[in-house]
Structure 1
Amino acid sequence: MGKLKIIIPAVVVLLFLGLSSIFVVDERERVLVLQFGQIKQVKSEPGLSFKIPFIQEVVRYDARILSLDTETIEVTPSDDRRLIVDAFTRYRIRDVVQFRQAVGVGGVRTAEDRLSSILNAQIREVLGADQVTSNTILSEERRNLMTRIRDNAQASAEGLGLEVVDVRLKKTNLPDQNLEATFARMRAERDREAADEIARGNEAAQRVRALADRTVTETISDAEREAQVVRGEADAERNRIYAEAYGADTEFFAFYRSLEAYQRALRGGNSSMVMTPDSEFFEYLRSGEAPQTQ
């Protein structure tokens, strides 16, 4: 019975020490085994591993690609139009030993703070370079600019044991006060373009109206000229007919013309005509015969 009292605690202690010396490495992790702060082992293969209990400790780092959103910063391109830039990066721990030596016990949080500072500096440097305007940043050249930021950030982040996989500019907006000024300028430009279009439209309308008025005038003039020609030809034909009629029977022609005169003179109305009864005008009314021609 006394031996059992000694064996059972010993077994428990040994079991505890055995379990404390075993740890599991996940395939998504990189593991460092530290002894008094010094790196003794680097475990990257998944499976069971061993350490010295109470003397050695295990520090785990994520081996997957991680994401970091940077703080919103203000940059000024070469055209002096300020932009509010919001970016993010994808990165991973490339060398866990170098990473541990660079950031110490601060781990990922310290590394992300330093990486964020590197990215902000590179964003300001690339977007504020000569020949980089706000229009360039908002155009298809944006991809090339992001590549330059990534490459520059990678060069600076190598000392941290990090690999910068990608950098993306999420938003590149104008500040609120600049945005209002830009909108006002855009509205003014659109108003000017509209006024130019209206002016050109009015000018075209004036040309069309002038052409139409000239066409109407020419058409009326041609019509009046043709009408004068037709009236002249008709008058000539009428005079020819009168002349033929007069030559055929002069007395009947004189009688017919007198009747026309009576018709025009004796037409009803408010007009009055005073003449003597023996006037030659009433020659046919008095005698009923045609007057003798001299």
Structure 2
Amino acid sequence: MTDDIFEKKKTKNRDIRKYAKAGVALLVIIFLLLTGISSVVIAKEGEYKVVRQFGDIVKIHETPGLKFKVPFVQEVSTLSKKKMVYDVEEKEITTLDKKRMIIDNYAVWSIEDPERMIANARTVIGAEARMGEFIFSIVRSELGKMDFSEIINEEESSRGVLNDEITSKVNEYLARDNYGIVVDDVRIKRSDLPESNEAAVFNQMITDREKIAQQYLSEGEADKSRIRAEVDREVQEMLSTARANAEKIRSEGEQQAAAVYNESFSKDPEFYRLYRTLESYETTIDGETTIILPQDSPYTDLLQGYIE
């Protein structure tokens, strides 16, 4: 009986040792799998993989593919290589003509050197904060050189050139301080008035537009009067020329007619005298004319048709 019990305990101990060995082997396999998995880094297109060891950067993977690190010692973080949009916090500025405005900007930027970016800005949020400070400083300086109307007037505004200048200066500041980032574009997306002086500025704008409209009307009336005077003068000149030409033509015609009359009447003076007498009748005699003539007057004979 004692031997049976001893034999059972011996068998049980062998089973325990066997299971223990199997468990240890399983744990080793799991540990090896976890170690292998944790040592693999998958770098995707459009991102940086930053490998740190005890907080220090030891490697930056810039190309896509499978990469490796020391498991449980090194850790990996990801930074984007793509262009990012940073919405700059809106702030108030003062224009050259002492108008207050609220300016809202955005910037398109990307990480050019992740190691320098981490060394000087630490994080993406830190890089955007420094970039936002530079943008606001430059925007405030540049718009402070412009009048309010020049900024809001789209036809006269030089925002395109201004945006390029702001972008260039921001990149100069970022390169100077080695932030490892580059700004592709800075744009003013909104420019508003503070509520406190919005109504006053709008009223001033209405007044200015009314002055401009009145100036246009005055200039239009002046041009109208000038054009009308010029046209009237040209018409009078044309009429004077036409009258002079008509008088000249009439005079020439009368001269030619007189020459023809003289030539014709010189051939028969008696007929000419008769013709002139008959013309005088048209002038001196009408339906109410009374003429008293002697019986033996030649004029009476002519009227009565007695012509010898």
Q: Report whether the alignment pairs 1:164 with 2:187.
A: no
Paired AA for residue 10 in structure 1? V
Paired AA for residue 86 in structure 1? N
Contact kept? 2:131, 2:170, Cα under 8 Å: no
Structure 1 residues 197, 19: CA separation in 2 closer, same or farther (over 3 Å shift)? farther
Q: Tell me what 2:71 maps to.
A: 51
C-alpha deviation, 1:88, in angstroms: 0.5
Segment of structure 1 superposing worse, 119-128 or 144-153: 119-128
The equivalent position to 2:91 in structure 1, one of 73, 76, 79, is: 73
C-alpha deviation, 1:277, in angstroms: 7.0
Q: Tell me what 2:244 maps to.
A: 221
Show CA shifts across 1:99-147 (max 9, x none): 27864xxx4345434543443334334554699x857852535423320
Aligned equivalents of 2:280, 2:226: Cα separation in 1: 61
Aligned equivalents of 1:66, 1:95: Cα separation in 2: 14
Q: Secondary structure at the match of 1:44?
A: strand
Aligned equivalents of 2:99, 2:143: Cα separation in 1: 11
Unaligned regions of 5+ residues in structure 2, if any?
Answer: 1-14
Paired AA for residue 31 in structure 1? V
C-alpha deviation, 1:191, in angstroms: 6.2
Listed as ranges, the matches of 1:45-194 within 5 Å are 45=61, 46-52=66-72, 56=73, 58-67=75-84, 68-78=86-96, 80=98, 84-92=103-111, 94-96=113-115, 99=118, 103=122, 107-125=123-141, 127-128=143-144, 134=151, 138=159, 140=161, 142-156=163-177, 158=178, 162-171=179-188, 174-175=191-192, 177=198, 185=208, 189=212, 192-193=215-216
C-alpha deviation, 1:92, in angstroms: 1.6
Show CA shifts across 1:3-62 (max 9, x none): 34212332333233334432332333333445xxx426633245122223xxx4724131
Unaligned regions of 5+ residues in structure 1, if any?
Answer: none
Contact kept? 1:63, 1:93, Cα under 8 Å: no
Q: Report whether the alignment pairs 1:3 with 2:20.
A: no
Q: How many residues align?
A: 270
Aligned equivalents of 2:222, 2:116: Cα separation in 1: 73
Aligned equivalents of 2:58, 2:264: Cα separation in 1: 134
Paired AA for residue 87 in structure 2? D
Show CA shifts across 1:236-293 (max 9, x none): 54255434412xxx4x6666666x36974998x7424253572623224558343xxx
C-alpha deviation, 1:228, in angstroms: 3.0
TM-score using structure 2 length: 0.65
